[in-house]
A = this chain, B = another copy of it.
C-alpha cells in the first residue's frame, strides 16, 4: 500500500451502517452488499473472484501485509468494536465487502437447462450446506423459491464455502407455482423409486421443500428415494439431497 487506508471509527458512519445492514436479509435485499468472512474463504474468493469485491475490512493494517489487493478492492481500517460487530462468526480475520449479484427471475414454463435445483429452505445454514453440495456435484442452476433464505446471508456464506460464486442463482415463484413447472420434474421422497437404479436425464428439475416438510401430495413430480437399511425413518434433508446429487454426478461421470 502506498498510502494509509481509510479509517472508520464511528458507528454512525454511513458506509459502516451500509455494511452492518448486510448482516440481515432485509438489508441484503435493500442495499445489495454482502460480507464474506473466513480464514480460507476470504483469500480464496479474493484470488478467484476479485471482481465480486470492493472493500477489505480489518482492524490492523498488519493483517493485510503482503496481500495483493486487486485494483477495485480498497482497504478500510475499522475501530475494533465496529469490526467485531460485522465479524459475526468471530473469525478475527479480514472481511470482504461484495456486491450481491443480480438474480434474474426464472420462467418455469420453459424447459430446464442442465440440473436445476428448486428450493425453499428457509434456514440460511441449511441453504448454505445445500449450495456447497450443489457446486461440488455439478448442479447448473439454483432456483430460490419464495421463502428461501437469502443466499448471501452471513450464515449461508459460512456454510457454503464459496459455493455462491460457482453457481447460477435465480429467483423462483412461490412454492405452489412449482406444480406448473415444465419437466422433467423430480422430488425426493422415502417412498419413491430407488435412485441408484435411475437413469438421470441431462436436463431436469429437482424440487426441495421447506425443512421438515415433504413435497405436497398433488405435486406432479416423479418421486425418487435414497435406499437405506430402514433402521432410521429418514435421512437428514441436506444429507439426502447431497447423496442424490452425488449419485447422479457419479453415474454421469462414469
Contact = CB atoms under 8 A, between A and B. Distances in A.
A199 interface: no
Contacts of A246: 226, 243, 246-247
Interface in A210-249: 226-229, 231-236, 238-239, 242-243, 246-247, 249
A233 B135 contact: no
A77 interface: no
Contacts of A232: 132, 135-136, 160-163, 166
Contacts of A160: 232
A69 interface: no
Contacts of A135: 229, 231-232
A224 to B, nearest CB: 14
B235 A133 contact: yes
Contacts of A133: 235-236, 239
Contact of A229 (B138, B234, B238): B138
Kindly list the 5 A-B residue pairs having the minimum CB-CB distance in the complex, ordered from nearest: A166-B231, A136-B228, A135-B231, A239-B242, A135-B232
A40 interface: yes
A235 B196 contact: no
A121 to B, nearest CB: 14
Report how many copies the assembly holds: 2
Nearest to A226: B246
Interface string A116-146: 0000000000000100110111100000000
Contact of A132 (B227, B235, B243): B235
Nearest to A128: B236
Contacts of A243: 242-243, 246
A136 B243 CA distance: 12
Interface string A158-172: 011111001100000
Contacts of A203: none
23 contacts: A129-B236, A132-B235, A132-B236, A132-B239, A133-B235, A133-B236, A133-B239, A135-B231, A135-B232, A136-B232, A137-B228, A138-B229, A159-B236, A161-B236, A162-B232, A163-B232, A196-B250, A196-B254, A227-B249, A227-B250, A228-B249, A235-B242, A238-B239
> Which of A40, A132, A160 counts the most B-chain CB atoms under 10 A from its CB?
A132
Contact of A162 (B137, B162, B233, B239): B233
A69 B234 CA distance: 25
Contacts of A250: 196, 227, 247
